[in-house]
Structure 1
Amino acid sequence: MWSEEKRLLDRFCAAPVPLAARGLWYRSKIGELLAVHLFSHGKEPFCVQQNRRANQFTDRALAHLEEHFEDDLDLEALSSTCGCSPPYLSRCVKRDTGKTLQQHLRAIRIDAAARLLNRGANVTEAAFGVGYSSLSHFSKAFEAEKGLLPSEFLKAS
């Protein structure tokens, strides 16, 4: 038992309040004891543990996107793979990276498409090869990421 917990337990046994207020006093001390226990045990504080865990969710999600970017991905399946809820995963990624999952996926796909174009693929092959099913969506996304249309990128290569 930690010293702070021991001190609280010692005070718990001798309530310094009138009998009518003891129920409330005991409830507040139980809350205080619980807070001390949750936030001071282990090698790192509870909030640091939570941040580390959230960072692990972000890392898992981004690694999964990198490995499966050409697949038809959905947030429900991705969050299940990572071991958390869809809204929580979205918040973790946005907080940790400043970008949404969709923005990450688009950047990963467009970088892969640029590599395909550099290796001699045409625009259609690159678009379908990285998971786009619409050439117009691919062209808009490519231009947003690279500042050039895919055809302009091909000419510049």
Structure 2
Amino acid sequence: MSEFVDQHESTAIGRVVREYRAAWPVGCCRVDTEGRMQQAYDWPGGPTGALWTEVLGRAVSEAARWGEPVVQYGPAGVLCWAAPLMHNAQLRGAIVAGIAESVLFPTGINEPIFDTRRACVDLLDRVEAANLTNAALLQHRRDEAQREQHRAYALHAFKREASTDLRRVYLRQEPELLAAIRRGDRGAARIVLNHILVIVFGAAGERFDLLKSFSMELVATVCRTAVEAGARPEQVLGENYTALQQLAEIEDIETLSPWLCDLLERVMDTIAHHPDSAATMLVNRALQHMREQMSGPLGRDDVAAAVHVSPAHFSRLFRRVTGQSFSQTLRSMRLDEAARLLVQTDRPVGRIAAETGFVDAAHFTKSFQRHTGQSPTAYRQARQKASVEHE
């Protein structure tokens, strides 16, 4: 075991496994790069033979390849997923989680006892937080996989449209790209730019002069939008000047496409590095989503997915911008809205509880009293009395 991990890493791995298993009803194991089991923690797969080694090895390689866990189906009906363990760029094995299919789906294939997608994300987040893997490299691989996927979608869309009007094709896509830049949404901006490049480059054919003309216009538009989004003008002007110089020297499509993608990353960096721009805009979008969806079940992971960031990164940004955790803010938001409805409407307390996302009236009443010092009924009566006396 010493050739796989040192004592410090072994302790950190053990802690990650304990905390993860406290959050999810799964067994875990630690494996090397070939899928050979190094240590088991209530592993549900029974005896581990050659077939299990093959499945676990595939779970490790697929997670490393795509930058995230991929669910595998193993012997004895066990589902498993892996989070890679890495030292710099070297893959050193993985922590693998597993659960029997019969346990995950006790009442039917459409009713799992938990969301495996969230369980996969949580395992990777914990491994990254413990500094047991190369988070930046895995993120790069996820981005690359997503780019390839969206290129394929865009190519399919282009073939379906069969448009040859370069400017019309670009202008149809431009608003979505600029909207993503304005809100600091790097992931969405990448997707739209990839879509534009596939369609525009396809429409231009061999006319490289048209592509360079389009690229000059795109550079100017992207830089101008970055300033509108909060980037420092002097930074963006410098980026714009450098970009136009570099563009003049590009002589082939193979160089132009990745160069435009790199330009977008640099421009998005100028927004992200402005202390009051991208993070604040992202959190504002999250808060808006929370206000719109708070009447139903709403978790941190749901909101993180809605604003296209990982749950762990979302939590850090959210606390940095608001000074509160996600759960504290959501609870206050729901209770403040409930207080407004109590005063401004005559709806029953139970209905208000349901409309503000509480599972039942008793839970709502207890939370409301702790928040305001009064029961919902007493709060309503006191405010109505004060209103009458004021009149």
In the superposition, the TM-score normalised over structure 2's length comes to 0.28
Residue of 351, 355, 367 corresponding to 1:129: 355
TM superposition shift of 1:108: 1.6
How far apart in 1 are the matches of 2:270 and 2:324? 27
Alpha-carbon shift at residue 87 of structure 1 (Å): 1.1
Q: Distance in 1 between matches of 2:305 and 2:347?
A: 34
Q: Measured at CA, do residues 154 and 46 of structure 1 come closer, stay the same or move farther in structure 2, by a change above 3 Å?
A: closer
Matched, 1:100 2:321: no
- Structure with the bigger percentage of strand: 2
| Cα deviation, residue 135, structure 1 | 2.0
Match of 1:142 among 368, 385, 391: 368
Residue 153 (structure 1) aligned with residue 379 (structure 2): yes
1:31-89 residue CA offsets vs partner (Å, 9 max, x unmatched): xxxxxxxxxx76x8686247632222211111111111102112222111101010111
Match of 1:66 in 2: 291
Paired residues, number = 118
Is contact 1:58–1:93 with CA below 8 Å preserved after alignment? Answer: yes
> Which whole-Å deviations, capped at 9, do the CAs of 1:11-47 have from their partners, x for residues lacking one?
xxxxxxxxxxxxxxxxxxxxxxxxxxxxxx76x8686
TM (norm. structure 1) is 0.64
Contact in 2 for aligned 1:110/1:142 (Cα 8 Å) = yes
Aligned to 2:42: none
Conserved 8 A contact 1:57-1:84: no
Distance 1:48 1:153, change over 3 A: same
1:116 is aligned, of 316, 335, 341, to: 341
Aligned residue type for 2:381? K
What is the aligned-residue RMSD (CA, Å)?
2.5
Name the % identity. Answer: 29
* Structure 2 portions without partners, runs of 5+: 1-237, 239-265, 385-391
**Bigger relative contact order, structure 1 or 2, given CA contacts below 8 A and separation 6+?**
1
Partner of 2:278: 53
Where 2:273 maps in the other structure, the secondary structure is helix
* Aligned 1:36-51 pairs, distance under 5 A: 48-49=273-274
Instruction: Please give the secondary structure, in 2, of the residue aligned with 1:83.
Output: coil
User: Contact 1:57/1:83 (CA < 8 Å) preserved in 2?
Assistant: no
Structure 1: tracts of 5 or more residues without a match: 3-40
In structure 2, the CA distance between the partners of 1:116 and 1:68, relative to structure 1 (3 Å rule), is same
Q: Say which SS state the counterpart of residue 72 (structure 1) adopts.
A: coil
